[in-house]
């Protein structure tokens, strides 16, 4: 096990390095840079154009006059040596600070959603599999499919409108304007609670429905297997029979992908967050990409990539722990 | 549990014959039998078939061409098809719309002129179009003669018939993802299979590559690649290009699951038995391993195709997907995703219903297939 | 070389105004008839917010006087606590007096605004305003005093003398004097590290301008040649010269001249920058006045940036603001302004109709949302007014006449081709579909209030005539194909061109393309990001362009930069003479030499910027515009489109109408944003 961890750590470092190159290069594939984007905005806002000299001065100011390779090394060098992820051009703040500002709330919403998703989906999946073709199974399937099938942004938009029209919930964000800046109070808490259901509902529906389908599918496979039939023939208690092996095995595919949820938890649902105006990391990344805010975008991508690599590592370990067969094989190898 | 229980003795000759057919039926026949019993899946399949056919001949089924504009009826609400006018049954008809404008808010207001019915004609010749993309014709299944109008789903902000546009858009939306899904599915199964079955160093290398690919968020990839594709390409081809590139990158999820399953199964007795009796690796995977998790693959596929359709709408939303003048459900929704639509012209959201129905039918279909493919039933 | 000078085009160029100091007690009455004549003249009702340059002027005009000053309660508390000097010491001895638009305001309250994710930064200035040396007056045209109390251009137009208001303080409490302007000139403009290439307009006659500092309040710009345009620098919100943005006492602490090279570099490294230039630039953000990022920066504006998060920015009142109302109350009335980041424009619309924002600028409140906004006025407790934009045409279509394509080039270069495109456009439909019928279908030219305007400039080829358009295309040898569906090029291929649409394909593009289809023109639309557009323009790949003009059509802007009438810039927004512009900016070395007509226009404009004779100038300007009307260098669609300006009913002293334009001083500059107030319960 110790050796496994060591080896995987080495792989992780190599992966991260490769990601860092992609993160820096792919982001700069579109022509132009932050200064060009900024000038466009100035043109749109004011209808004024800049002289070439002024543009050159600005590019120099942002260090964009240098070629990509030295810029890459300067960026990655600072990260490795000083843990300095560079500054965001658009916000004029260190990237780390910006992430620190948004990651906690993002994680809060994601965890809450994930928790609800699992709490709802796993039991329903088990129920649907054990009661195949019952009316409840059909109902869950129908509702689940509907949740999966509705485009998130449309759902968000309609829910927001209904919330505004009929429940007097202000549109977008997690707090109403009057509570945005106010210190924490019962009123603010209640205001926040009023705003939470829409994002949770929107982000949660698709996830829950998907999970129910996967859970139901794999569990049905397991339930048809010889060992289950044998156990049942031997008179093993149904409940014990169900949870002892089939459920654990059915969770296997869920676990092998749980690692990839880590970046999703941190980045959040970008599109839903944009529609709902949630101050999470997803919209910030999208904005950084659109603005060619190189360091913010690059460092965020690197950060998310790092989380995936780490998450995969964790899920591999979890897999070894959950599935005795793999554990056994690894021990042999 | 479905299917005849072999433990029971046959009670009648007919039943015996049925059992006989059951025992000698091929795997596909068995699957079809089981599939037939899954009514929702059958219905789903039928709806899907209908959708593909209908959008295929969109030009014939829609009363207008997708770009036909009517500046007099901007954002007109859907017209109701009626049968009875003035107490008499005169066949399907619509009343003409009268337009006014609120002088204060500038909101356009349409009211039915109940004194002015227009019969819906069948097989009318109006807007020219190309049937199936090459037959030049102006024959439509139904329509009305101008100046009468027939806007079953209302019109958009340019005065174009939503019903016609939804049909035309379906062509693109229903087909655009299939290619991508196919590619990533094949790659996922093959590479995941190799990784899981061969194991060792090959497995390690493949796993590292997968890890690397998964770690890159798709958003910057989309943006980078959209920009990197030749600017001369038309919008539709750019989208196809990116779909393919992404599917080449997107096989990883399936590959990991396939690998995990294989790792789990390859120690199974039946595999060991096959190997001992000299079966090649390919045979073992194809004949013995693949069928044992076919159901999982089907679930994956039935989720993947509609995911592509949903993905198309989502990408259109952030402005990275298809763009006008290409008409897809995503493009139609791009111009509908605002409060003025939700509040004042909700019929522009009709494409959402089509997306929902399509995705759901795919899922019911997949559900039926999954159950049908399950060898233990 | 004469040509060379001709090409060294200042972006803010000559607009000749006879030198004058602000005369009379009310500045808006100042100026002689000729000068007023020559400018854009509006006769709307929005120009009646009065002010007095001095208290004495107020007394002279009304008989009243102001003897004592008062201040906002939050400041009074700070004074009582000893954290702030008394209001008399913070204000100049002779402050600027504003007559509130509706009534004397109430102190207090925070305004709420939104900004979208695409990064507009300027919207808060709708409530903050811009403080420049001079101010554009309520007629949206003439200059009036502001930070400067007077200015004078010498008879030879080589020396511009400006006198500052005495006793103005920075928001930090430090006095503002010519020392700060000297810092700008000597330590920023003359510093070769900070400004290796000074902008061309600072070098009239090819020589960098000089500055003299006579005393604490008086300084001079002096030029090698006559440079009457310098007067136009004085009120401009960001373009041109911005000498009053850098407080010496603050910026000198990062500057090697004051702290030594070693310390400046060390400070930069410590703050995470590579060198002091980047560090200084970061603190300065010098291009525009917007105090985008720096919360420490001393300001002269009514509010200063107090807090900047990723999704919220907060401005707070400047306790040292130097304007008062007629009762001696220090402005501004409001405590501050919060600007919230709203990622999605649709959510923005939702927040507007929910009445969450105190005021929103037109680009967040499109005309297509007007019915929705109007319907919710009552429930959201706000009012939507329409403010005219000063655009000649909201969207322009352009044909690249210098396209590198042997078949297309002769067709594109022929003005008749543009005539056909213009004649086949149904501008009424565009107006109805895109602008709710509120715009004016017209050809692109200046707005009708401009002194350079002639009705036929706006009428040229602007009425739909498909028959005539077809006839023109026939004359050009673009024959129909067998089905009479599409037109064919002389080489037998189908006529098919790509039109760049900027960042998005908009309904107006779709409409135009459909309308052109009727004359057999196949135009496909393609959207590109700004960066791609810039590259396509630089490499001359754009065939056609359709996009927003983003450009006001006031006389002043026309003279400063006749962007769409002359090929001066090889930019994405102006591709009609792409290679001619390259020829122009390279002084004849690159690109393609323009035809005589275009060269003549360039000369006309050159003469315009140099002549002191107003009649001559108007004649030359009209010739340029007549050339546009004859040749349609750019094809206009619908212009003079109003933009909705939704504002809370709690916001008072806010004008019903104004110019929806940045260059007049951040939209509301002429209306004195510091006198806006929020009704307090």
What is the rounded average pLDDT of the residues C154-164?
90
Chain A nearest-CA residue for C9? A51
Chain C interface, Cβ < 8 Å to B: 345-346, 349-350, 353, 368-372, 374-375, 426, 429, 432-433, 436-438, 498, 503-505, 507, 509-511, 513-514, 524-529, 531-532, 536, 541
pLDDT score, position C241: 54
Which residues does chain B have within 8 Å of residue C353's beta carbon, measured at their own beta carbons? 339
| Residue whose entry in the numeric block shows the structure tokens 């080896």 | A7
Written as tens digits, the pLDDT of chain B (377 aa) is 344 444 444 455 566 666 666 666 666 677 777 777 777 788 888 998 999 999 888 888 888 888 888 888 888 999 888 888 888 888 888 888 888 888 888 888 998 888 888 888 888 888 888 877 778 888 888 888 888 888 999 999 888 999 999 999 998 888 877 777 888 888 888 888 888 777 788 888 888 788 777 777 777 777 777 767 776 677 777 777 777 776 776 787 788 778 877 777 777 777 778 778 877 777 777 777 777 677 677 767 776 787 778 877 877 777 777 777 788 888 888 888 888 888 889 999 999 999 999 988 888 887 787 777 665 54
> Percentage of chain A surpassing pLDDT 90?
0
Structure tokens at C527: 């959207």
Please give the Cα distance from B213 to C264 (Å, whole number).
44
Note whether B339 contacts A18, CB cutoff 8 Å: no
Please give the Cα distance from B45 to C103 (Å, whole number).
71
CB atoms within 10 A of CB C300: 24
pLDDT at A322 over 70: no
Higher per-residue pLDDT: B173 or A204: B173
- Is the four-CA dihedral C573, C575, C579, C581 of positive or negative sign? negative
Residues making up chain A, counted from first to last? 333
Note whether C354 contacts A48, CB cutoff 8 Å: no
The DSSP annotation for C641-657 comes to -EEEEEEETTEES--S-
pLDDT score, position C117: 60
Phi, psi of C99, rounded to the nearest 5 degrees: -90, 115
Rg (CA), chain B: 27
pLDDT score, position B114: 85
pLDDT in tens, A265-282: 666 677 778 778 788 888
Collapsing DSSP to helix, strand or coil, B127 comes out as strand
Q: What is the DSSP letter of C234?
A: T
CA distance B184 to chain C (A): 29
Which residues does chain C have within 8 Å of residue B335's beta carbon, measured at their own beta carbons? 507
Interface test with C, best of B69, B75, B338 (most C CBs within 10 A): B338
pLDDT score, position B96: 86
Which residues does chain A have within 8 Å of residue C585's beta carbon, measured at their own beta carbons? 52
Which residues does chain C have within 8 Å of residue B74's beta carbon, measured at their own beta carbons? 432-433
Contact of C154 with C160, CB cutoff 8 Å:
yes
Contact of B176 with B303, CB cutoff 8 Å:
no
Phi, psi of C334, rounded to the nearest 5 degrees: -75, 150
Chain B nearest-CA residue for A133? B38
- Is the four-CA dihedral B366, B367, B370, B371 of positive or negative sign? negative
Note whether C347 contacts A44, CB cutoff 8 Å: no
Please give the Cα distance from C669 to C131 (Å, whole number).
9
Interface test with A, best of C196, C275, C343 (most A CBs within 10 A): C343
Which residues does chain B have within 8 Å of residue A150's beta carbon, measured at their own beta carbons? 352, 355-356
Any residues with CB less than 8 A from the CB of A154 and at least 6 apart, and which?
B313, B333, B337, B349, B352
The beta-carbon neighbor of C510 closest among B74, B107, B325 is B325
Residue among C681, C665, C680 at smallest CA distance from C147: C665
- Is B374 within 8 Å of chain A by CB? yes
pLDDT at C14 over 50: no
pLDDT score, position B17: 64
Hey, which residues 261-290 in chain B have their CB within 8 Å of chain A? 261, 263-264, 267
CA distance B359 to chain A (A): 5
Neighbors of chain B by Cβ distance (3+ pairs < 8 Å)? A, C
- Is the four-CA dihedral B349, B351, B357, B362 of positive or negative sign? negative
Please give the Cα distance from C373 to C366 (Å, whole number).
10
> Percentage of chain C surpassing pLDDT 70?
89
Higher per-residue pLDDT: C359 or B286: C359
Collapsing DSSP to helix, strand or coil, C335 comes out as coil
pLDDT score, position A256: 63
pLDDT in tens, A100-155: 888 888 888 888 887 888 888 888 888 888 887 788 888 887 777 787 788 888 88
The gap from C-alpha B181 to its chain's centroid, in whole angstroms, comes to 12
pLDDT score, position A127: 86
Note whether B339 contacts C505, CB cutoff 8 Å: no
Structure tokens at B301: 């596929």
pLDDT score, position C111: 93
Interface test with C, best of A177, A272, A274, A288 (most C CBs within 10 A): A177
Please give the Cα distance from C679 to B89 (Å, whole number).
63
Note whether B227 contacts C370, CB cutoff 8 Å: no
Any residues with CB less than 8 A from the CB of B252 and at least 6 apart, and which?
B188, B210, B213, B214
pLDDT in tens, C179-236: 999 999 999 889 988 888 777 778 888 889 999 999 999 999 999 988 877 887 888 7
pLDDT score, position A48: 65
Please give the Cα distance from B246 to B181 (Å, whole number).
10
pLDDT score, position C37: 36
Contact of A77 with C226, CB cutoff 8 Å:
no
Note whether C535 contacts A32, CB cutoff 8 Å: yes
What is the rounded average pLDDT of the residues A215-228?
79
pLDDT at C97 over 80: yes
Please give the Cα distance from B357 to B361 (Å, whole number).
6
**Distance set, CA B302 to CA A220, B359, B369, C377, C605 (Å):** 17, 9, 9, 47, 66
What is the rounded average pLDDT of the residues C424-442?
91
Contact of C422 with C462, CB cutoff 8 Å:
yes
Higher per-residue pLDDT: C256 or B39: C256
Note whether B215 contacts A326, CB cutoff 8 Å: no
Residue among B319, A33, A45, B238 at smallest CA distance from C534: A33
Which residues does chain C have within 8 Å of residue A66's beta carbon, measured at their own beta carbons? none
What is the rounded average pLDDT of the residues C645-649?
93
- Is B121 within 8 Å of chain A by CB? no
Interface test with C, best of B220, B235, B237, B324 (most C CBs within 10 A): B324
Phi, psi of C236, rounded to the nearest 5 degrees: -70, 135
Chain B nearest-CA residue for C433? B158
CB atoms within 10 A of CB C434: 24
Contact of C446 with C561, CB cutoff 8 Å:
no
Highest mean pLDDT among A255-264, B157-166, B212-221, C666-675: B157-166
Hey, which residues 75-114 in chain A have their CB within 8 Å of chain C? 84, 87, 90-94, 98, 101-102
CA distance B340 to chain C (A): 6
pLDDT at A78 over 90: no
pLDDT at A53 over 80: no
Phi, psi of C170, rounded to the nearest 5 degrees: -70, 165
Range name among B305-314, C97-106, C494-503 with the lowest pLDDT average: B305-314
pLDDT score, position C28: 38
pLDDT score, position C25: 33
Averaged confidence pLDDT in chain C? 83
Contact of C216 with C254, CB cutoff 8 Å:
no
- Is A3 within 8 Å of chain B by CB? no
Note whether A91 contacts C310, CB cutoff 8 Å: yes
Interface test with B, best of C505, C524, C641 (most B CBs within 10 A): C505
Range name among A211-225, B12-26, B192-206, C160-174 with the lowest pLDDT average: B12-26
Structure tokens at B35: 């599939």
pLDDT at C15 over 60: no
CA distance A267 to chain C (A): 15
pLDDT at C265 over 90: yes
Structure tokens at C59: 């007394």
Please give the Cα distance from C21 to B139 (Å, whole number).
76
Note whether A326 contacts B293, CB cutoff 8 Å: no
| Residue whose entry in the numeric block shows the structure tokens 């001065």 | A57
Helix, strand, coil shares of chain A, percent, nearest 5, are: 80, 0, 20
Task: Note the ipTM here.
Answer: 0.77
Please give the Cα distance from B165 to B150 (Å, whole number).
13
Q: What is the DSSP letter of C359?
A: B
Residue among A234, A322, A326, A320 at smallest CA distance from A5: A320
CA distance A233 to chain B (A): 13
pLDDT at A328 over 70: no
* Peptide linkage before C530 cis (omega within 30 of 0): no
- Is A247 within 8 Å of chain B by CB? no
- Is A272 within 8 Å of chain B by CB? no
- This prediction has a pTM of 0.82
Note whether C531 contacts A170, CB cutoff 8 Å: no
Which residues does chain B have within 8 Å of residue C374's beta carbon, measured at their own beta carbons? 104-107
Interface test with B, best of C371, C430, C529 (most B CBs within 10 A): C371
pLDDT in tens, C472-487: 999 999 999 988 889 9
Note whether A90 contacts C119, CB cutoff 8 Å: yes
pLDDT score, position C468: 94
- Angle subtended at Cα C571 by Cα C568 and Cα C572, rounded to the nearest 5 degrees: 145
Note whether C349 contacts B338, CB cutoff 8 Å: yes
What is the rounded average pLDDT of the residues C91-100?
91
Exposure string of C571-584, with b = 16+ CB inside 10 Å and e = fewer, is bbbbbbbbbbbbbb
Interhelix angle C261-270/C276-284, rounded to 10 degrees, is 70
Chain B interface, Cβ < 8 Å to C: 67, 69, 71, 74, 102, 104-108, 157-159, 227, 231-232, 234-235, 319, 323-325, 335, 337-340, 343-344
Hey, which residues 171-230 in chain A have their CB within 8 Å of chain C? 171-173, 176-177, 180-181
pLDDT score, position C255: 94
């Amino acid at each position: 096990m110790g050796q496994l961890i060591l080896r995987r750590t080495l792989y992780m470092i190599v992966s991260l390095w490769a990601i860092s190159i992609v993160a820096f290069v792919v982001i700069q594939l579109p022509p132009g840079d932050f200064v060009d984007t900024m000038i466009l905005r100035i043109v749109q806002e004011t209808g004024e154009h800049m002289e070439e000299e002024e543009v050159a001065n600005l590019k120099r100011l942002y260090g964009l006059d240098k070629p990509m390779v030295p810029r890459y090394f300067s960026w990655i060098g600072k990260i490795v040596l000083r843990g300095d992820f560079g500054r965001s051009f658009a916000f004029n703040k260190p990237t780390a600070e910006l992430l620190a500002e948004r990651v906690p709330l993002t994680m809060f919403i994601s965890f809450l959603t994930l928790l609800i998703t699992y709490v709802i989906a796993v039991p329903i999946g088990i129920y649907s599999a054990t009661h195949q073709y019952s009316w409840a199974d059909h109902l869950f399937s129908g509702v689940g499919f509907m949740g999966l099938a509705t485009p998130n942004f449309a759902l968000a938009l309609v829910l927001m409108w209904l919330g505004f029209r009929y429940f007097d919930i202000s549109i977008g964000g997690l707090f109403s304007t009057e509570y945005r800046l106010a210190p924490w109070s019962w009123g603010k808490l209640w205001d926040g609670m009023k705003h939470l259901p829409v994002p949770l509902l929107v982000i949660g529906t698709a996830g829950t429905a998907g999970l129910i389908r996967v859970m139901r599918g794999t569990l049905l496979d397991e339930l048809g297997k010889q060992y289950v039939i044998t156990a049942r023939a031997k008179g093993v208690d149904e409940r014990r029979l169900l949870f002892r092996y089939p459920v654990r095995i059915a969770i296997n595919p869920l676990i092998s992908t749980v690692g990839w949820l880590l970046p999703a938890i941190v980045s959040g649902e970008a599109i839903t967050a944009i529609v709902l105006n949630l101050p999470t990391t997803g919209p910030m990344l999208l904005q950084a990409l659109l603005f060619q805010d190189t360091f913010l975008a690059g460092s965020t991508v690197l950060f998310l990539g790092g989380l995936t690599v780490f998450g995969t590592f964790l899920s591999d370990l979890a897999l070894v722990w959950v599935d005795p067969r793999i554990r056994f094989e690894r021990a042999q190898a | 549990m479905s299917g005849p229980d072999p433990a029971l003795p046959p009670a009648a000759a007919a039943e015996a014959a049925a059992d006989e057919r059951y025992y000698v039926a091929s795997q596909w026949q068995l699957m079809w039998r089981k599939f037939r019993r899954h009514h929702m899946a059958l219905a789903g399949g039928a709806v899907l078939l209908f959708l593909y056919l209908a959008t295929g001949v969109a030009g014939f089924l829609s009363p207008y061409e997708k770009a036909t504009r009517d500046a007099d009826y901007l954002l007109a609400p859907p017209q109701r098809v009626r049968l009875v006018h003035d107490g008499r049954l005169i066949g399907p008809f619509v009343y003409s719309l009268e337009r006014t404008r609120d002088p204060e808010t500038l909101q356009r207001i349409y009211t039915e002129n109940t004194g002015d019915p227009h019969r819906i004609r069948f097989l009318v010749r109006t807007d020219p179009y190309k049937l199936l993309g090459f037959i030049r014709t102006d024959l439509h299944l139904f329509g009305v003669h101008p100046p009468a109008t027939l806007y079953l789903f209302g019109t958009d902000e340019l005065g174009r018939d939503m019903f016609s546009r939804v049909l035309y858009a379906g062509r693109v939306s229903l087909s655009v993802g299939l290619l991508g899904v196919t590619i990533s599915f094949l790659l996922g199964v093959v590479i995941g299979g190799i990784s899981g079955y061969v194991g060792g160093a090959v497995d390690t290398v493949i796993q590292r590559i997968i890890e690397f690919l998964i770690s890159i968020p798709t958003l910057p990839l989309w943006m980078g690649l959209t920009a990197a594709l030749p600017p001369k390409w038309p919008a539709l081809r750019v989208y196809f290009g990116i779909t393919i590139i992404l599917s080449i990158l997107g096989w990883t999820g399936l590959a990991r699951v396939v690998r995990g399953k294989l790792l789990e199964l390859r120690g199974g007795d039946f595999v060991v038995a096959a190997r001992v009796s000299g079966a090649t690796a390919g045979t073992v995977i194809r004949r013995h391993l693949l069928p044992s998790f076919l159901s999982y693959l089907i679930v994956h596929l039935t989720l993947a195709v509609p995911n592509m359709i949903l993905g198309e709408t989502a990408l259109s939303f952030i402005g990275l997907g298809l763009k006008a003048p290409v008409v897809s459900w995503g493009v139609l929704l791009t111009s509908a995703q605002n409060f003025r639509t939700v509040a004042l012209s909700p019929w522009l959201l009709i494409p959402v219903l089509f997306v929902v129905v399509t995705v759901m039918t795919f899922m019911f279909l997949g559900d039926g297939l999954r159950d049908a493919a399950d060898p233990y039933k | 070389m004469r040509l060379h000078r001709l090409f060294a085009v200042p972006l803010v160029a000559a607009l000749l105004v006879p030198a004058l100091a602000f005369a009379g007690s009310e500045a808006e009455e100042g100026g002689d008839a000729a000068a007023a004549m020559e400018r854009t003249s509006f006769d709307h009702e929005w120009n009646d917010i009065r002010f007095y340059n001095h208290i004495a002027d107020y007394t002279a005009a009304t008989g009243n006087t102001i003897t004592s000053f008062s201040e906002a309660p939050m400041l009074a508390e700070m004074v009582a606590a000893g954290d702030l000097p008394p209001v008399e010491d913070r204000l100049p001895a002779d402050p600027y007096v504003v007559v509130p638009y509706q009534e004397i305001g109430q102190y207090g309250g925070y305004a709420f605004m939104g900004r979208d994710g695409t990064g507009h930064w300027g919207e808060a200035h709708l409530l903050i305003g811009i403080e420049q040396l001079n101010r554009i007056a309520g007629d949206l045209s003439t200059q009036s005093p502001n930070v400067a109390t007077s200015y004078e251009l010498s008879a030879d137009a080589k020396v511009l003398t400006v006198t500052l208001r005495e006793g103005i303080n920075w928001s930090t409490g430090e006095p503002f004097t010519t020392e700060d302007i000297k810092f700008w000139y000597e330590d920023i403009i003359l510093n070769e590290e900070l400004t290796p290439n000074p902008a061309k307009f600072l070098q009239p006659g090819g020589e960098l301008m000089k500055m003299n500092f006579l005393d604490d309040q008086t300084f001079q710009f002096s030029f090698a040649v006559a440079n009457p345009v310098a007067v136009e620098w004085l009120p401009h919100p960001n373009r041109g010269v911005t000498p009053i943005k850098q407080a010496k006492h603050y910026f000198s602490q990062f500057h090697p001249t004051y702290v030594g090279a070693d310390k400046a570099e060390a400070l930069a490294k410590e703050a995470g920058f590579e060198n002091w230039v980047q560090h200084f630039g970061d603190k300065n953000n010098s291009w525009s006045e917007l105090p985008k990022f720096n919360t420490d920066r001393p300001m002269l504006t009514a509010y200063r940036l107090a807090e900047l998060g990723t999704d919220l920015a907060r401005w707070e009142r400047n306790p040292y603001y130097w304007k008062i109302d007629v009762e001696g109350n220090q402005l501004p009335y409001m405590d501050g302004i919060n600007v919230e980041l709203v990622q999605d424009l649709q959510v923005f619309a939702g927040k507007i109709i929910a009445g969450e924002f105190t005021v929103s600028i037109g680009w967040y409140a499109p005309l297509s949302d007007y019915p929705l906004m109007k319907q919710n006025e009552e429930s959201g407790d706000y009012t939507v007014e329409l403010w005219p934009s000063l655009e000649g045409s909201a969207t322009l279509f352009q044909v690249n006449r210098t396209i590198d394509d042997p078949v297309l080039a002769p067709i594109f270069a022929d003005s008749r081709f543009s005539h056909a495109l213009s004649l086949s456009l149904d501008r009424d439909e565009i107006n109805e579909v895109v602008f709710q019928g509120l715009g004016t279908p017209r050809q692109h030219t200046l707005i009708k209030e401009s002194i350079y305007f002639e009705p036929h400039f706006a009428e040229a080829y602007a009425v739909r005539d498909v028959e005539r358009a077809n006839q023109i295309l026939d004359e050009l040898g673009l024959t129909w194909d067998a089905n009479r569906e599409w037109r064919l090029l002389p080489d037998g291929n189908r006529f098919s061109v790509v039109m760049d649409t900027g960042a998005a394909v908009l309904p107006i593009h779709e409409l135009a393309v459909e309308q052109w289809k009727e004359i057999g023109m196949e135009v496909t639309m393609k959207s590109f990001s700004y960066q791609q557009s810039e590259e396509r323009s630089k490499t001359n790949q754009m065939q056609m362009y359709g996009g927003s003009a983003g450009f006001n059509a006031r006389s002043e802007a026309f003279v400063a930069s006749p962007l769409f009438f002359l090929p001066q810039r090889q930019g994405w927004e102006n591709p009609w003479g792409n290679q001619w512009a390259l020829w122009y900016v390279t002084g004849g070395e690159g690109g393609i030499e323009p035809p005589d007509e275009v060269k003549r226009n360039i000369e006309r404009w050159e003469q315009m910027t140099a002549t002191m004779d107003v009649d001559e100038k108007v004649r030359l300007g009209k010739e340029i515009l007549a050339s546009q009307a004859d040749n349609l260098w750019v094809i206009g669609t619908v212009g003079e489109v109003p933009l909705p300006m939704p504002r809370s009913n709690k916001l008072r002293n806010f004008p019903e109408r104004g110019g929806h334009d940045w260059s007049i001083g951040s939209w509301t500059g002429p209306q004195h944003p510091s006198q806006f107030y929020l009704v307090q319960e």
